[in-house]
Amino acid sequence: MIGVGLRRIGLFILTNMLVLLLLGIVLRVLGVEQYGIGTGGLLIFASLFGFGGSFISLALSKWIAKRATRARVLDVPRDEVERWLLSTVERQANKAGIGTPEVAIFPSDAPNAFATGMSRNNALVAVSEGLLRAMGRREVEAVLAHEVAHIANGDMVTLALLQGVMNTFVIFLSRLLGTLIDRAVFRSERGYGIGYWVTVIALEIVFGLLAGLVVRAFSRWREYRADRGAAELEDPQSMIRALQALQRMQELPSDMPKQLAAFGIRGEGSVARLFSTHPPLSKRIQALRALQR
């Protein structure tokens, strides 16, 4: 993907505001805010919402990915290319010791691929039509191996866990500090006045952006690990050639939905390194070449 984009930041802010609103409604319905809530109770609620939202997203990830990309699952192969894709992923999955993922093709002129799913044995690998046209079979096999390595490494579950931890602390710290600030600055007796809500919304945005840096740093690290996994499943040189092909085509626009950027092979480019889910292609190539020495 090219750049982070304002749409993602807007979606992030909206999502956090909705989580805050839902949490507030639940607390009010249960009468918690009427009598106050201790830090222990707040942490429990923050954990439920933080991890709950993350794992609900993970559980729905295949369904959302298929519809967002208009991917066609290859249940019954229509031609020799589709049979080759299915047999390649099956071979790589067997070698990696995981259940064979669903395989899909999605309409896009840009070369890309992604993997997603609830677990190592319930996953999806999808490639774009553009990738199949732009690369030779050895390079495509390397890309598929990269995605299979993501699944074998449990990256999707680990990312969901990390996101759950980040969500928990964003919700917990923003509400805790909101209560303290409302009492100290706005002199609210219970700490749930207008100052509380304004402070919580502002802190959720700030803490959420900081938490996003941690999640993206992990995402970049896991790309290097998936590259190494692809080198083991196929060979380093094929993965290097695939990344070099992506380098040559980097200027092409990508129309894969931004919410799937972290799961793609291609990454987000170098507009904002700290907010990128993927390392620069040049550094990934260097890391693979170092394995051959």
Report domain extents, the chain: 1-293
pLDDT per residue as tens digits for the range 175-218? 888 888 887 776 666 556 677 778 888 898 899 888 888 888 88
The catalytic site residues sit at 147
Nearest partner of 144 among 184, 102, 173, judged by Cα: 102
> d(Cα 195, Cα 30) in Å, to the nearest integer?
22
Average pLDDT value for residue range 85-101: 97
Is the predicted pLDDT of residue 51 greater than 90, yes or no?
Answer: no
List Cα–Cα distances, 49 to 16, 19, 109, 248, 254, in angstroms.
11, 8, 38, 43, 33
Q: What is the mean pLDDT of residues 223-243?
A: 93
Whole-prediction pTM value? 0.78
